[in-house]
Amino acid sequence: MSKGRVLIVEDNMDTYELVHFILEKNGYETFLAMNGRDGVNATQKQKPDLIIMDLSMPEMDGWTATALIKRNKKTSAIPLIALTAHALPGDRQRAFDAGCNEYITKPMDLDELVEAVDYWMVRQ
């Protein structure tokens, strides 16, 4: 039985494959959305237990998708971890302002990522 269902919103397939691999190895079930708009739709339809959100994506960026998910009462309680290469001053604060629960920068430490997922999964 899986430890939980994680939606990975990511437009870079190498990053997706890595996150998918490490989470499945640690007992999670994952599914993919390739841009912010699909991420918002998948969140509403599939009700994941946790969301990992890239920030820089086509169609709709991760800040906007996060804000839409967190403003919707039906999805606002789902924990959301921003995962991004953005390290500019202000990007982190913008992500927290949009409602993300945790912010992890790329290149990511896989242990840190799994710890963050374990932490937030039990706090939903």
54 binds Mg ion per the rule CB under 5 A: yes
Q: Does 64 bind Mg ion (CB under 5 A)?
A: no
Coil, strand, or helix at residue 104? strand
Kindly state the smallest distance separating residue 84's Cβ from Mg ion, in Å. 8
Q: Using CB under 5 A, which of the segments 24-32, 56-64, 73-81, 101-109 binds Mg ion? A: 56-64
If DSSP codes are grouped into helix, strand and coil, which group holds residue 33?
Answer: strand
Rule CB under 5 A: is residue 56 a binding residue for Mg ion? Answer: yes
Strands (E), the chain: 5-9, 29-33, 50-53, 80-84, 102-105
Q: Please choose, out of 38-46, 47-55, 72-80, 113-121, the segment that lies near Mg ion by the rule CB under 5 A.
A: 47-55
CB of 19 to Mg ion, least distance (A): 12
Distant-in-sequence, close-in-space partners of 6: CB < 8 Å, separation ≥ 6: 23, 28, 29, 30, 31, 48, 49, 50, 51, 52, 117
Q: Taking CA 33 as the corner, what is the angle to CA 110 and CA 106, rounded to the nearest 5 degrees?
A: 30
Range in contact with Mg ion (rule: CB under 5 A) among 20-28, 50-58, 105-113, 116-124: 50-58
- Contact residues for Mg ion (CB under 5 A)? 11, 54, 56-57
